Amino acid sequence: MYLYQGKTALITGASSGIGATFAYELAARGMDIVLVARSEERLQALATEIVQRHGRKVEVIAADLSDTQGVALVIQEVESRGLTIDLLVNNAGIGTHGYFETIAPERDQQLVMLNVAAVVALSHAFLPAMAARGEGAVINVGSTASFQPVQYMPAYGASKAFVLSFSTALAEEYRHKGVRILALCPGATITSFFETAGEEAAMGSKRTSKQAVTTALRALEQGRSVVVDGFMNMLISHASRILSRSIMARITGNGLRPGHSQKNKKNKKQTTVNMVK
């Protein structure tokens, strides 16, 4: 059992998708919320709606967590506002997709800073105080990509593998200190993620952010350290325990090869035309 009432959650990447859904769901459970993302305008609109809907206190911190100064700003603002963070949700993340030589190096650098460095820095900032109080929780959003190499998305897959390993290790380290740490591993989810990574970066049918968050909070309450959202996604994650990493990389490559989805659409359209004829 995890008690939410009267505590404070800090959520990164909170302006939309899974982050915004976490904000709504945690506020509904009685938590005050600290929203972190780049767009202050979108965060303010979300804050207003949460206050109106749930009557909880909501703080807004606009910061770019792919920049070390942005991470420092969040930590500084939490301290200066006298906030105690009881639940940290490291949700912010981006993906890159394509042939490696076509991906801008600076974009992959941003990915590593946001998906990996920011997660570590914010954990360092808030975990020690949780342990000192003897209670607290961290939810790190990984991915089904956490379980195997991902061809055409190598930096993204590696970053999410880091999140899974990092979270699982910390979960054991802090288990007896009253702090729960969970790696949430969703598959393709209906969010703005694919606006930057591209629709070709999706494998399988998409689930909703509400489903992913419901899965996460149930697992948190059960004291689990890793949870995969969705039955089919869980089966895929188990496949990586049976098949070699090179085979899994080939499998992901078959579904994520640049131009693959357009080719399938073209073939499907051609097949339809032939059937009509």
List pLDDT tens digits, range 15-30: 999 999 999 999 999 9
Average pLDDT rounded to a whole number, residues 86-91: 98
Output the six-digit token pair for 246.
Answer: 């090179």
Closest CA to 19 of 119, 91, 70: 91
Active-site residue (options: 4, 152, 156, 174): 156
Q: Of all helices (H) and strands (E), which one includes residue 172?
A: helix 154-174
Residue 3 in any domain: the answer is no
Average pLDDT rounded to a whole number, residues 204-215: 89
Residue 77 in any domain: the answer is yes
Give Cβ neighbours of residue 119 (< 8 Å, ≥ 6 apart): 90, 140, 163, 166
For 117, list phi and psi in degrees, rounded to 5. -60, -40
| 156: annotated active-site residue | yes
Residue 195 in any domain: the answer is yes
pLDDT band at 189 (very low <50, low <70, confident <90, very high): confident
Residue 2 in any domain: the answer is no
Does the pLDDT value for residue 214 go beyond 70? yes
Output the six-digit token pair for 204.
Answer: 């399988």
Residue 1 in any domain: the answer is no
Which three-class secondary structure state does DSSP give residue 117? helix
- Asked whether the beta carbons of 117 and 216 are under 8 A apart, the reply is no
What b/e string do you get for 105-130 counting C-beta neighbours within 10 Å, with b at 16 or more?
eeebebbbbbbbbbbebbbebbbeeb
Residue 151 in any domain: the answer is yes
Share of the chain above pLDDT 90, in %: 74
**CATH (domain of 182):** 3.40.50.720
Does the pLDDT value for residue 271 go beyond 80? no
The DSSP call for residue 181 is E
Residue 51 in any domain: the answer is yes
Q: Which domain holds residue 110?
A: 8-276
Q: How far is residue 9's CA from residue 109's CA, in Å, rounded to a whole number? A: 28
- pLDDT of amino acid 244: 61
Instruction: Please state the pTM of the whole predicted model.
Output: 0.86
Closest CA to 75 of 34, 41, 116, 108: 34
Number of domains in the chain: 1
For 79, list phi and psi in degrees, rounded to 5. -70, -45
Query: CB neighbours (10 Å) of residue 193?
Result: 22
- Asked whether the beta carbons of 103 and 96 are under 8 A apart, the reply is yes
Residue 40 in any domain: the answer is yes
Tokens 């767009």 correspond to 39
